[in-house]
Structures are given as C-alpha cells and as structure tokens.
Amino acid sequence: MRVTEMDKLRDEVEHCTKCPLYHSRKQVVFGSGNPEAPIFLIGEAPGFEEDKTGVAFVGKSGQLLEKILLACNFNREKHVFMSNIVKCRPPQNRVPATVEQAACLPYLEKQIELVHPQIIVTLGSTALKGLFGENLRITRERGNWKLWQNYLVMPTFHPSALLRNPNLKRDTWEDFKKVIVKYREIVDQNHFCKYI
C-alpha cells in the first residue's frame, strides 16, 4: 500500500506530546474524510465520543453536522475532510488554551496544505480565532467570506452551539447555503441540493 504524506502526518500526530493535552487524551483525533476533499471543515477540539473512538465529529454535535451536510447533499467521505484546531481532547471539554492551540496549529496547516481544499468552513469561535486571530467575533464574522492564505473561508457556528441555542440554526443554514452556491461556482456547477 502506498504511504501518503497524509499517512506520515497522521503517524506523527498520533505520537505527539507537544502540549499538555497528551496527558489526558485516550487517543489522538487526527481528522477524517476525503484527503482530496474540496471542502475542509474545522472544529474546535475532540469531545468525549471523539476521544473514545478516535473519529472526528461522532458525538451529538457531529450527528447534527452530519444532518447539515446531508441537507447540503455533501457526503462526509467524498466532499469533506474534517478536523479540529487541536487533535486531543481538553479535560471537561474546556476551550483549548492558547499554548495548546499554538502547539497544534502546524498540524492543521499541514493538513490543509495536503488536502488543498477549494473551500474551508470554520465551525465556531475557536476555529475562527485559530485561523484569523483572537480579536475576531463569530457573531460578527459568520456568513461572510474571508481569505486565509489564499483559501476561501466561510465562518459559521459550531454545531454544539446550535444544540445549546437552536435559534442559531437559521443563520447557520444561511451560511451553508452560501457554501453550496460557492461550491457550484468553483467546484461543480451541477451539484444538486433540493433546498436551493
């Protein structure tokens, strides 16, 4: 079997001890999906279920994300690659500390370089700030295309925020509709979505 750059990176990350989160993790959650996906989704950090299974976005918020992707007619294995700002679960699901984010960010940057997506979607405040800096606010930036290292980025809410506050679902769906429109513009003009 051919060992890809992504396989090598996965192996490196799975043995990582660069920040204190390695003490408490059960396993590293590297990320999953199509390594050549046109869309790269970035979340905050693995949660309980992800830490247990080693798979990104499998807990309750992952299930909600799956529903959103299905509504967009995006398939997890074909259209997207998904990962997080940090690859190890912070204790009690706290927001990863700045030092932890800084230690882990080079892995995400390398993943993005290897996948080379046409569209990045940041989910939640931590992912947005992780790419663009601390002084951005998700409530102000969501729904507006941004550029990060020449990649198009759509910031939106994290699905866990939608679970806490269902009123955010409408805005989130508006943001994903923009992603569908952009996807049709730059990736596949025939992409079908029954909602738009």
Binding residues vs ligand SF4 (CB under 6 A):
13, 16-19, 21-22, 28, 86-88, 100, 103-104
Residues in Cβ contact with 15 at an 8 Å cutoff, skipping those fewer than 6 apart:
none
Task: Tell me whether residue 87 or residue 142 sits nearer to ligand SF4 (CB atom).
Answer: 87
Q: Minimal distance in Å, beta carbon 1 to ligand SF4?
A: 24
Shortest distance, CB of residue 33 to ligand SF4, whole angstroms? 18
Query: How many other CB atoms are there within 10 angstroms of residue 84's CB atom?
Result: 28
Between residues 103 and 162, which has the closer beta carbon with respect to ligand SF4? 103
CB nearer to ligand SF4: give 110 or 169.
110
Quick one: how far is CA 161 from the chain centroid?
14
With respect to ligand SF4, which residue has the nearer C-beta, 44 or 175? 44
Query: In Å, how far from its chain's centre is CA 51?
Result: 16
d(CA 141, CA 159): 16
